[in-house]
Structure 1
Amino acid sequence: MASTVETRPGYGQLLRTPGAWTFLLPGFLARQPFAMLTIGIVLLVQHTTGSYGSAGAVAAFTGVSMALFAPQSGKLADRFGQRAVLLPGVLVHAASVSALTALALADAPLWALSAAAVPTGASLPQVGPMVRARWAAMLGGNTSQAEGAGRGSPLMSTAAAFESVTDEFTFVVGPVLATALCTGVHPAAGLIAEAALTLAGGLFFAAQSRTQPAVRPAATAAEPHVSALSIPGVRVLAAAFLGIGSVFGGMQVALTAFSEEIGNPGVNGLLYGVFAAGNMLAGIACGAIAWKSGPRRRMVLGYAGLTLAASALWAVHSVALLAGLGLLVGLCIAPALISGYTLVESLVPASARTEAFTWLTGAVALGQAAAVTVAGQLTDEHGASAGFLVPLVGTVLALITLVALRSRLSARASGRIAARGMGHRVPVTVD
């Protein structure tokens, strides 16, 4: 259904919202580890073992455990508050990363590294979803959903676009920073920095208790809590986000292998930074455009473009051409992600918002975990070009699922939703 939105409040107005900077700055700091963790593990373990397959396997254990535990973290944050989840989480994560780093440097066997990777991923703080939930609470996005459509703050769309740009910027800075530290300082420096940022940023963010969403009341027989995953549209989006994760994971491993093959490991950070920069630029554009098409259509078209762009990665053997194609792939990712999160806002009640965001974040992590495992094996046996096939296969499968089940991405009729405690929804564009 076409959007009727013609104007959108500016970013300047959004950032002048009282109290916003108290959680935006620590939130940005605490987000960096998510973009640094996988590449930091791949670079360290590949250095100590000499195998991309082993590096991918350890990173996969981290991604799978994060994907499994992230929604549970979201549920706990909705139920007990963000601070109660973050404080123990950042401490466990910093300790787990330190243990994994020490084991890798001690040439521990693969099973020990994999075991240490499980709590590392499970404890990764879900700061991005928490920031989005704070925007929603601050701007009135937690209004009862049975009150009728259209009563949320017009700044909600702007906040969602801003979050998209922020996320993409972390994927410009994070991998480049981790790669520079691992190649220029010490192979373990990337993970050490990741642990330090998690600890400092997470504790700082948790301290901003005045802006965290109110804790939801206990479920009752009359108003039971709705699980985000019980909504068919969320499951379809999660499947689509698996494919996006395959792009992130496959690109990280294949770009690292490509840089090694040409004898210039340092170019890896530049290539991945260009890829992430395309993602960020597309996020800025998506936030600035007053769309006349609905998010479901935009997501299908964006995903089709992503699949087409990913289809040529395996055939490119030039740094310049690979950078250009990586930029194009990045430009196609943001529209798909933003539209997907917008659809979540139209499908999921406020009481399950953080959980819904973490399901999608977890799906990206799970797809990334599978991708780094498969791409690691392929690059060990057949070189970097084979690793680039992983994003292609992942996006093709996800696109088929998205097209076949796209009807489930339509919001239910308001009357039926209200009867189940899921009425008014404010569309939000997030990434």
Structure 2
Amino acid sequence: MASAVKDSRSGYGPLLRTPGAWTFLLPGFLARQPFAMLTIGIVLLVQSTTGSYGTAGAVSATTGVAMALFAPQSGKLADRFGQRAVLIPGVLAHVAGVVALIILALAHAPLWALLAVAVPTGASTPQVGPMVRARWAARLGGSPLMPTAAAFESVTDEFTFVVGPVLATALCTGVHPAAGLVAEAVLTLAGGLLFAAQRRSQPAVHRSQAGDRPRVSALSVPGVRVLIVAFLGIGAVFGGMQVSLTAFTQHIGQPGINGVLYGIFAGGNMLAGIACGALAWKVGPRRRLLVAYGLLALATTPLWAVTAVPLLGAVGLVVGLCIAPALITGYTLVESLVPAAARTEAFTWLTGAVALGQAAAATSSGQLADRFGPSMGFLVPLAGTALALTVLLALRAHLLPRSSTVAAGAPAEGPEAPVPAVSEDRERELARA
């Protein structure tokens, strides 16, 4: 699909005036709300029925791992057959999985049964966020508005992480332990089907024809693999914060403020995202990612030592402020690293990496909280971001934006099929939008 926008300006005003944007933005916002409610809803329900944060973290982690493994396959199918064809059956399967998980948890089913249902529940999680990003990429093409679109989507994601956990926590603690997941299932069904109905704005379908060479895979791009590691670390922050904050507030006898503290953390992320989208950057995206990630690793350092609620909220706010620049820059790089025919897949790899990191962190934090106390769970975000930062620094050469000589949907020459990297000057030119 050709770019629908030729505006040379940056900023949210020109972005939101993109023809047809609102037809997928509003349904997409509703459809992605449940994503922020799923893991915290599982943690609160299973912990309530079993009394164990470790068990709750294991079930939540299984859901996240299944989503991380199956999300890229969903992205591939969406690139090939269209988003609607993938989204509708996925929504129905996910709602069925959530309902089954609620029933089993309330019936005090054994752990193996909960884990067995958690797999299809996570695997069928609708990938609305990557689909919206793919629609932006199809509409904007090489427009300088792409970084603004990436920022806008990250702000939207983080707004859901402000609203979602607070809503899920309020429902689980104030109505019923299962109420958060019930709301998640209802919103998934309504929002997912409404988003799927917006057929005109979905990207062009890239079907293989007889005699075509193998299509390019997003995972064959070295830069995507580096970004996956970075997003695993970001997921470790989300998962570690969710479980550790839950354990901490339960430990001090104030479970109701869990959603507030997590909302402050996510709110910092959202505010930083708004600022990132409004700025005209003169620093290249690779450098922005490295600096932002270094600050994120530094910000997570004191979490484990904080015992006062106000101070924990303040540190969580700083951590949130540091996540957005790294997350936004990573998504922005996809447009310059990956051919159009594989972008939905690339976005789902990154989203899946966040889910996988979140799942691993939820399990690790839960085990640490059970054995050594709630504060020890906060070591997981620090470890995850430190390891990811090390990989980013070592492999940063793979994150240079690529030449536009690879046509949208063009097949790779081989498993790696590198395309020429552009210079640092060109990188800065691409980033200035």
Alignment partners' CA distance in 1, 2:134 and 2:407 = 21
- Does 1:92 find its partner at 2:100? no
Alignment partners' CA distance in 2, 1:113 and 1:351 = 37
Offset at residue 75 of structure 1 (A): 0.2
Alignment partners' CA distance in 2, 1:57 and 1:306 = 26
- The secondary structure found in structure 1 opposite 2:10 is coil
Residue matched to 1:372: 362
Aligned pair partner of 1:339 in 311, 318, 329: 329
Residue matched to 1:175: 165
Offset at residue 383 of structure 1 (A): 1.1
Aligned pair partner of 1:400 in 390, 396, 402: 390
Do 1:74 and 1:358's aligned partners in 2 also have CA atoms closer than 8 Å? yes
Moved more, 322-331 or 402-411: 402-411
Residue matched to 1:218: 208
In structure 2, the CA distance between the partners of 1:120 and 1:381, relative to structure 1 (3 Å rule), is: same
Offset at residue 10 of structure 1 (A): 3.2
Offset at residue 159 of structure 1 (A): 2.2
Residue matched to 1:147: none
Do 2:54 and 2:366's aligned partners in 1 also have CA atoms closer than 8 Å? yes
What are the equivalent positions in structure 2 for 1:52-67 lying under 5 Å apart?
Answer: 52-67=53-68
Offset at residue 167 of structure 1 (A): 1.0
Aligned pair partner of 2:248 in 246, 258, 261: 258
Residue matched to 2:39: 38
Alignment partners' CA distance in 2, 1:379 and 1:219 = 53
In structure 2, the CA distance between the partners of 1:414 and 1:193, relative to structure 1 (3 Å rule), is: closer
Residue matched to 2:5: none
Offset at residue 221 of structure 1 (A): 5.3
What are the equivalent positions in structure 2 for 1:236-385 lying under 5 Å apart?
Answer: 236-385=226-375
Do 1:156 and 1:428's aligned partners in 2 also have CA atoms closer than 8 Å? no
Alignment partners' CA distance in 1, 2:202 and 2:171 = 33
Offset at residue 382 of structure 1 (A): 1.0
Do 2:339 and 2:407's aligned partners in 1 also have CA atoms closer than 8 Å? no
- Does 1:198 find its partner at 2:199? no
Alignment partners' CA distance in 2, 1:158 and 1:311 = 30
Alignment partners' CA distance in 2, 1:315 and 1:219 = 58
In structure 2, the CA distance between the partners of 1:160 and 1:424, relative to structure 1 (3 Å rule), is: farther
Alignment partners' CA distance in 1, 2:421 and 2:143 = 13
Offset at residue 243 of structure 1 (A): 0.7
Alignment-mate amino acid for residue 60 of structure 2 = A
- Does 1:115 find its partner at 2:105? no
Alignment partners' CA distance in 2, 1:424 and 1:12 = 32
Alignment partners' CA distance in 2, 1:241 and 1:390 = 14
Residue matched to 1:48: 49
- Does 1:188 find its partner at 2:205? no
Alignment partners' CA distance in 2, 1:356 and 1:167 = 17
- Does 1:14 find its partner at 2:4? no
In structure 2, the CA distance between the partners of 1:101 and 1:158, relative to structure 1 (3 Å rule), is: same
Alignment partners' CA distance in 2, 1:424 and 1:313 = 39
Offset at residue 417 of structure 1 (A): 8.0
Do 1:8 and 1:158's aligned partners in 2 also have CA atoms closer than 8 Å? no
Alignment partners' CA distance in 2, 1:43 and 1:299 = 34
Alignment partners' CA distance in 1, 2:244 and 2:196 = 36
- The secondary structure found in structure 1 opposite 2:15 is helix
In structure 2, the CA distance between the partners of 1:96 and 1:222, relative to structure 1 (3 Å rule), is: closer
- The secondary structure found in structure 1 opposite 2:64 is helix
Using the size of structure 2 for normalisation, the TM-score is 0.91
Using the size of structure 1 for normalisation, the TM-score is 0.92
Moved more, 31-40 or 223-232: 223-232
Alignment partners' CA distance in 2, 1:310 and 1:318 = 16
Alignment partners' CA distance in 2, 1:61 and 1:296 = 32
Offset at residue 163 of structure 1 (A): 1.2
Alignment-mate amino acid for residue 81 of structure 2 = F
Alignment-mate amino acid for residue 390 of structure 1 = V
Cα deviation 1:115-152 (Å, max 9, x = unaligned):
0100110000000111111122223x2xxxxxxxxxx3
Offset at residue 259 of structure 1 (A): 0.3
Do 1:8 and 1:157's aligned partners in 2 also have CA atoms closer than 8 Å? no
In structure 2, the CA distance between the partners of 1:135 and 1:347, relative to structure 1 (3 Å rule), is: same
Cα deviation 1:311-357 (Å, max 9, x = unaligned):
11000000100000000000000111111112222110000000000
Offset at residue 68 of structure 1 (A): 0.3
Alignment partners' CA distance in 1, 2:372 and 2:223 = 38
- The secondary structure found in structure 2 opposite 1:211 is coil
In structure 2, the CA distance between the partners of 1:428 and 1:258, relative to structure 1 (3 Å rule), is: farther
Moved more, 11-20 or 27-36: 11-20
Alignment partners' CA distance in 1, 2:379 and 2:94 = 32
| Aligned residues with identical type, % of pairs | 76
Residue matched to 2:125: 124
Do 1:90 and 1:198's aligned partners in 2 also have CA atoms closer than 8 Å? yes
Alignment-mate amino acid for residue 129 of structure 1 = P
CA RMSD of aligned residues (A): 2.1
Alignment partners' CA distance in 2, 1:309 and 1:383 = 21
Offset at residue 155 of structure 1 (A): 3.1
Cα deviation 1:89-111 (Å, max 9, x = unaligned):
00000000000011000000000
Do 1:349 and 1:423's aligned partners in 2 also have CA atoms closer than 8 Å? no
Do 2:155 and 2:270's aligned partners in 1 also have CA atoms closer than 8 Å? yes
